[in-house]
Amino acid sequence: MIDQSLMHPIPDRRFKFGCHPEIACFTVCCAKLSLVLTPYDVLRLKNRLQLPSKIFLDRYTTSYVDENYGAPLVKLKMNEDEHRQCPFVSREGCTVYEDRPGACRMYPVGRAASKIPGWDKTGEYYFLVKEAHCLGFNEQRGWTIEEWIEDQGLAEYNTMNDLFLDITAGIPAKRLKSLSDKQLGMFHMACYNLDEFRKFLFSTTFLERFDLEPQLIDRLRTDETELIRFSCRWLRFALFGEKTMAARADLSPQTALPNR
Write out pLDDT tens, residues 111-159: 987 655 555 555 688 999 999 999 999 999 999 999 999 999 999 999 9
Q: How far is CA 200 from CA 54, 89, 128, 227, 240, in A?
A: 14, 34, 41, 11, 19
User: Using alpha carbons only, how large is the chain's radius of gyration in Å?
Assistant: 20
pLDDT in tens, 230-251: 999 999 999 999 999 988 765 5
Q: Quick one: pLDDT band at residue 108, thresholds 50, 70, 90?
A: very high
Dihedral Cα 245, 197, 172, 246, nearest 10 deg: 10
**Residue from 259, 202, 251, 260 nearest 230 by CA:** 202
Q: Do 119 and 109 form a contact (C-beta atoms < 8 A)?
A: no
Q: Strand pairing of 93-94 and 89-90?
A: antiparallel
Tally of CB atoms within 10 A around 173:
15
Q: Is the pLDDT of residue 202 over 90?
A: yes
Q: Is the pLDDT of residue 6 over 70?
A: yes
Residue-level pLDDT at 260: 46
Residue-level pLDDT at 125: 87
pLDDT in tens, 172-189: 999 999 999 999 999 999
Query: Exposure string (b/e) for 6-15, b if CB count within 10 Å is 16 or more?
Result: eeeebeeeeb
Residue-level pLDDT at 117: 53
**Residue from 147, 162, 172, 197 nearest 16 by CA:** 147
Residue-level pLDDT at 254: 52
As a whole-number percent, the residues of the chain with pLDDT over 90 amount to 80
Q: How far is CA 238 from CA 73, 110, 209, in A?
A: 19, 32, 13
**Range name among 49-63, 82-96, 109-123 with the lowest pLDDT average:** 109-123
**In 3-state terms, what secondary structure has residue 72?**
strand
* pTM beyond cutoff 0.95: no
